[in-house]
Structures are given as C-alpha cells and as structure tokens.
Amino acid sequence: MNYAEIKEYDIADGPGVRVSLFVSGCRNACPGCFNPETWDFDYGHTYTLETEDRILRLLMPEYIEGLTLLGGEPFEPENQAVLVGLLRKVKQIYPKKSVWCYTGYTYERDLLRGGEKHTSHTDEMLSLIDVLVDGRFLLAEKDITLLYRGSRNQRILALHPAGKEDGEETSAVEAVEEIAEIAKGNSSWK
C-alpha cells in the first residue's frame, strides 16, 4: 500500500485533534474530488513497518483524540489488507482512542457480506472502526457548512456505540453531542 500524507494534528476530519492517514488508491472517481492525485495506487510513499510505528507514536499524547483513515479509499481491497493490521495495533495499544474512517463506498451495499468491496478483512476492519463516514462525494450535494462531510448525501455512522444497532445513522447533531461528551472525558463510543 502507498499513502499520500500523514497529518500529525488534524482538526477537520473527526472530533478533537487527530492523526490522519491519507492512503493512496481510489476507484470511485467522484467528480470534484478534493484529492484526485490519490486515485493512483502508486502515488506518494510506500507504507512500511516504520510508517506504522510512526503513526502509533504520533497517537501517544493524551491530547490526540484518535486516528482517522481517509484518502484515497481505505476500503479498496488492497488497502484493507494493510489497514486492518494497523487498526488491530491501534485498538490494542490505545483502546480509548477513537477510529474514524472515510469511504466513498456505501456501508450496507458495498462493505457488508455480499457487497462488492467485502473481503476477508472487511468484517474485522469494520469492527475496529468507531465512526464511518460513507458515500461518494457528490458535487451537486456539496455543502461547506456540513460537519465532517463534503456533501449532504454522505452519512456519519456510529458503528459500535452503546445502545444502538450497528450501522444506525448518527446525525450531525448527535455527533456534536458526542464530541461534547468526549471533551468531558465521558464518551460512550467505546
């Protein structure tokens, strides 16, 4: 797997201050994509064990809320095989930090068993992600006022919060409430 960039202090792609990994490779080809250079699977740098160690170190400070995966497309099969290993370690070392992931694919249609992007790694990867922002970026639905999303069709799905069914949609309002809880050190996500 290649990656385009690691942001050490990202405050735009999920709550709090986060480490973000922008992976390379995406077959969605959304018109108006904010990062078209990352469609190429060979773009950027080779992801190595040193890269993984660097991400794990960057997550260490208490003020880092968690990790966000985006791209490119984390759920392209080639990328899932690598990312599931990273997420396993993140959850083992930092069980209280949240993992957010952006995908242009649709949770129920593409990622669940029987979906086009479901692989032998997908179920485990989904089990290690707290919040999934799903759906293609649609230029016609673009709205710069949205929290954590580029277009109105995209959804913020809290995959494993207490008291909710897996995949139940979290509204932007609920997300803001959750963020307030996290800021008070009282998150119910994990």
Q: Which residues bind ligand SF4 (CB under 6 A)?
A: 26, 28-30, 33, 35, 38, 71-73, 104, 136-137
Q: Round to whole Å and give the CA distance between 161 and 151.
A: 24
C-alpha distances in Å from residue 30, one per residue of 87, 142, 162, 163, 189: 26, 12, 33, 34, 30
In the complex with ligand SF4, the residue whose CB is nearer, 17 or 138, is 138
Q: Minimum distance between the CB of residue 187 and ligand SF4, rounded to whole angstroms?
A: 27
Minimum separation from the CB atom of position 104 to ligand SF4 (A): 3
Minimum distance between the CB of residue 35 and ligand SF4, rounded to whole angstroms? 5
Q: Which one, of 126, 172, 111, 178, lies nearest residue 145 by Cα?
A: 172
14/72 with CB nearer ligand SF4: 72
Comparison of 66 and 74: residue with beta carbon closer to ligand SF4: 74
Q: Is 12 left (phi over 0), alpha (psi -120 to 50) or beta?
A: alpha
Displacement of CA 52 from its chain's centroid (Å): 16
Query: Of the two residues 44 and 104, which places its CB atom closer to ligand SF4 in the complex?
Result: 104
Closest approach, Cβ 39 to ligand SF4, in A, equals 6
**In the complex, residue closest to ligand SF4 by CB:** 104
* Residue 22 vs 189, nearer CB to ligand SF4: 22
CA distance 102 to 155: 10
Nearest CA to 153 out of 99, 189, 118, 105 is that of 105
Min dist CB 60 to ligand SF4, Å, is 28
